[in-house]
């Protein structure tokens, strides 16, 4: 229900007199700004395409700052309030020195970074799982967090994610990678028969990261898994019950705002 409500707030804020908490997700393909109110209800979100981040590492600092500045300006106008501070996040496998670049992007965009959190922990802030495995499939990496009694007890990350799926789809259809990414995100056609090998590769990564832990469920989040039948492919490959979410690309961005 949260995600369905959140999707409706795209550039169309819900009125709230509460103080708002903001999050900025510096993704591989897009940068997303989100807002929630004191009751943890979705208020607003916006995004811009930006390829300033690769595998969780800021590779074009200027473009990232420019995108966040634009998102801040638009949000300030839409919400009629200033955005003084926000949280942001990084993939679990990124070294701390590289992760702090995300902090500096916000600071240079005129936003105080109130919290720097890994993306899987941010997703858990929204999902609030008691037990299971959170899998955040980003553009360049797949992060895995094992949750027991509501606490993440193990956290890992491996290269490989949505960009690999884009390459497979682009090669199969003979189109540019950027067009493949757009088609995959729109989800208007079922490309799961083409993308199955790539999704199974992600499933293999999940299994390696789970290791010897006993788990009963996998929860897929991230824009990269907005592919029909992704959850059933992972479940069949892993032998573990797998859940996907509507608007799964919004789980981590809104979780960042809640963190």
What's the pLDDT score for residue 55? 67
pLDDT at residue 196 is higher than 70:
yes
Q: Bridge partners of 158?
A: 142
SS3 for 230-244 is HHHHHHHHHCCEEEC
In this structure, the number of other CB atoms found within 10 A of the CB of residue 197 comes to 11
Q: How far apart are CA 259 and CA 256, in angstroms?
A: 5
Separation of alpha carbons 75 and 18, rounded Å:
16
pLDDT surpassing 70 at residue 56: no
**Quick check: 68 pLDDT over 90?**
yes
Q: Do 121 and 134 contact (CB within 8 A), yes or no?
A: no
Taking residues 37-49, report their average pLDDT: 95
**pTM for the model:** 0.94
pLDDT tens, residue by residue, 200-251: 999 999 999 999 999 999 999 998 788 889 999 999 999 999 999 989 999 9
Q: Which residue has the higher pLDDT, 188 or 222?
A: 222
Question: Tokens for 76?
Answer: 């300030």
Using the predicted structure, report yes or no on whether residue 190 has a pLDDT greater than 70.
Answer: yes
Residue 192 tokens, joined: 């799961």
Average pLDDT over the chain, rounded to an integer = 93
For residues 219, 225, 229, 230, the Cα torsion angle rounded to the nearest 10 degrees is -60
pLDDT tens for 104-114 read 999 999 999 99
Round to whole Å and give the CA distance between 78 and 227.
Answer: 31
Read off the DSSP letter of residue 56. T
Residue 39 clears pLDDT 80, i.e. is over it:
yes
* Of 92 and 221, the one with more pLDDT: 221
Q: What is the pLDDT of residues 124-165, one digit of tens each?
A: 999 999 999 999 998 888 999 999 999 999 999 998 888 899
Average pLDDT on 171-185 reads 90
Alpha-carbon distance 98 to 253, whole Å?
Answer: 19
In angstroms, rounded to a whole number, what is the distance separating the alpha carbons of residues 75 and 92?
A: 28
Taking alpha carbons only, the member of 121, 140, 115 closest to residue 56 is: 140
């Amino acid at each position: 229900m949260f995600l369905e409500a959140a999707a409706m707030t795209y550039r169309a804020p819900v009125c709230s007199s509460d103080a708002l908490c903001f999050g900025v997700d510096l993704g591989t393909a897009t940068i997303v700004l989100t807002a929630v109110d004191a009751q943890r209800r979705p208020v607003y979100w916006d995004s811009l395409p930006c390829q300033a981040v690769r595998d969780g590492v800021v590779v074009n600092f200027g473009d990232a700052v420019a995108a966040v500045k634009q998102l801040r300006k638009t949000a300030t106008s839409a919400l009629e309030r200033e955005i003084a501070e926000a949280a942001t996040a990084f993939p679990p496998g990124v070294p701390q020195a590289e992760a702090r670049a995300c902090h500096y992007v916000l600071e240079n965009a005129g936003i105080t970074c109130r919290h720097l959190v890994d993306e899987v922990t941010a997703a858990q802030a929204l999902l609030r799982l008691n037990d299971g495995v959170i899998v955040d499939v980003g553009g360049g990496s797949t992060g895995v967090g094992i949750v027991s009694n509501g606490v993440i007890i193990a956290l890992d990350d491996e290269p490989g994610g949505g960009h690999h799926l884009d390459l497979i789809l682009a090669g199969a259809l003979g189109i540019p990678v950027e067009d493949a990414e757009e088609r995959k995100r729109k989800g208007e056609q079922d490309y799961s028969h083409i993308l199955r090998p790539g999704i199974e590769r992600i499933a293999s990564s999940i299994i390696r990261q789970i290791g010897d832990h006993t788990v009963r469920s996998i929860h897929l989040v991230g824009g990269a898994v907005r592919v029909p039948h992704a959850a059933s492919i992972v479940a069949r490959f892993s032998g573990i019950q797998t859940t996907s979410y509507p608007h799964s690309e919004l789980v981590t961005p809104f979780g960042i705002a809640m963190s």
